[in-house]
Amino acid sequence: MLAMPEIHHIKHLREKKGLSLSEIVRRTGFNWRTVKKYADGDISVRQKIKRKRGMMEEEGYGQIIDDWLEEDAKLPRKQRRTSKKMYEQLKQEHGFKGSYRTVCAYVQKRRHQLKLEKEQRYERLEHPPGEAQVDFGTMSVVTKEGKEEDRSILILSFPYSNAAYAYPLPAENSECFLYGLTQLFRQAGGVPRKLRIDNLAAAVVSIRKGGERQYTEAFERFRLHYRFDVQACNPYSGHEKGNVERKVYYTRQHCFVPAPLIKGDEELAEWLHRKMIEDRARPHYEKGRTIEELWQEEQKELLVLPERDLPIFSFHHANVNKYGEVTVDGEAFVVHGIPVPNRVLVKKEWDRFMVLSQEGEVYLEAPRPYTKKQRELPWKDILAEWAQKPRVVEYSRFRVYLPEAIRKYFMEQPKQTASRIRGVQKLLDRYTVYEIAQWLDKYQRWDLAPHEIGVLMEAKRSEYPAKWEEADTPSVLVDYETDLHVYDQRLCPSREGGSRA
Higher pLDDT, 431 or 73: 431
The SS3 of residue 315 is strand
Banded pLDDT at 192 (limits 50, 70, 90): very high
Banded pLDDT at 279 (limits 50, 70, 90): very high
- Over residues 308-329, the mean pLDDT reads 90
Model confidence at 273: pLDDT above 90: yes
Report pLDDT for 375.
74
Banded pLDDT at 236 (limits 50, 70, 90): low
H/E segment holding residue 417: helix 417-427
CA distance 183 to 181: 5
- pTM over 0.85, yes/no: no
Radius of gyration, alpha carbons of the chain: 36
CA distance 461 to 368: 36
Backbone angles phi, psi at 156, to 5 degrees: -115, 115
The SS3 of residue 299 is helix
Phi-psi bin for 434: left (phi > 0), alpha (psi -120 to 50), beta? alpha
CA distance 327 to 308: 33
CA distance 352 to 311: 13
Q: Point out the least confidently predicted range of 91-95, 319-323, 466-470.
A: 466-470
Banded pLDDT at 239 (limits 50, 70, 90): low
Model confidence at 51: pLDDT above 70: no
Model confidence over 150-171: pLDDT tens digits? 889 999 999 999 999 999 998 9
Report pLDDT for 163.
95
Task: Please say whether the beta carbons of 131 and 196 come within 8 A.
Answer: yes
Model confidence over 343-357: pLDDT tens digits? 999 999 998 999 998
Torsion of CA 45, 48, 53, 58, to 10 degrees: 120
Contacts of 232 (CB under 8 A, 6+ apart): 196, 197, 198, 199, 204, 213
> Which span out of 60-74, 138-152, 266-280, 476-490 was modeled with the highest average pLDDT?
266-280
